[in-house]
Structure 1
Amino acid sequence: MRSRTLAVVVLAAGALVLAGCDALPTQSPEPTASASSAAPVPSGSSTAAPSPTADAGFTVPDSCEQLYSPGMLDELNRTNPPLNDPGITIYATENVEALEILSSGIPTLRCSWGVAGEPGLVTSVSVVSADQSAALRDAFSSSGMACEALGSGTVCRIEQQTIDRNDNIVSIGETHYLQGSGWVATHWVDFAPDGYTEDIVATLWS
């Protein structure tokens, strides 16, 4: 599966549209001081998102290795290295409202797995205000993500299958977790390890 080249995924107008580029394409890195534009996440089933528990003391980890349990870190290194390949510069979300917040200069740690042109994922861990957290929950639920309680916070997910230029089925999606002032955003292409976000939540909020 790592040998496939995929089409760039543009999440637009409630549907995932395939354009003529590779998976995990390069684009401008997530800015830290200015907003970027992107298309909204596609629609799907959704549920009302509960408000996360207050967590004003959340801080961004110092390194990507600190996001994961030893077992998950070992699995990622075995199944889809490397960590933080410079060729992967896609965003951790394609949702317009979420991308504006991610691009606003909030404290963020960005981590990726895989190489450009092959299956992989990008995760950003950020600190957000109460208003930003509420806006994110509204943006995810209104865009069609399925949101539910996870631990003391809220997890929102969306997944779609499409066809690449070689007529292969490709799975793409996003997962977001909000608890207090913490936000974990993951955008993935044909690589979604079981329990990935849950492992991050258990590690960062243990």
Structure 2
Amino acid sequence: MAGYVFTLAQQKGGSGKTTLAAHLAVAYALAGKTVALLDTDPQGSLGEWFEAREARLGEDQAGLAFRTASGWGARREARALRRDHDVVVIDTPPKSDLEARPAIEAASLVIVPIQPTPVDLWATDPTLELTAKERVDALLMVNRALRRAALTGAMIAQIHTLGHRVADSALGSRVAFAASMGDGRTVVETQPSGIAAGEVQALADEVLKTADELAG
């Protein structure tokens, strides 16, 4: 059976797609799954993280592979990777329907991170229109949430009105995420017993459960 393809997509830059892609991939790999990361963002931040990871942990990344692709090549690469991996996680560039469309078309599920601000919420519409056009299910999730901010609660309520699945799991606004990425790792490795790692694991489990349910 072919694996799942999880595409991270959001038109607005700075939504945390790359950090989220790396964290989900590592969480699945540490759970014993074979995982491939596919970077379709010309900026290449995910590739830089993976190189830093190899420099720290060695080139033999058991259970975790990395590839790059651009344009329509992303769809072909994703379909090839899913034949040999349990999970393929794709990072896409912002502000580009042309680059994101092939990765969305190849997805089992599109994960749309939204920071809880009005601007981020408004910027989500083009991504959701694209997932609807490609007839791919989307899972919205709150990223970089300030737990005690009144705005966060109000924005989460508005996200639920968009007519798509909304993850119960959310990632908080924590320095630990960026710190671990700069080290070529993730919070699941640097602080495995911490709150941030718990958030990542909960989201990874929910994404997989949602994909299972959609697959029937």
Q: TM-score, normalised by structure 2?
A: 0.28
- Bigger proportion of residues as strand: 1
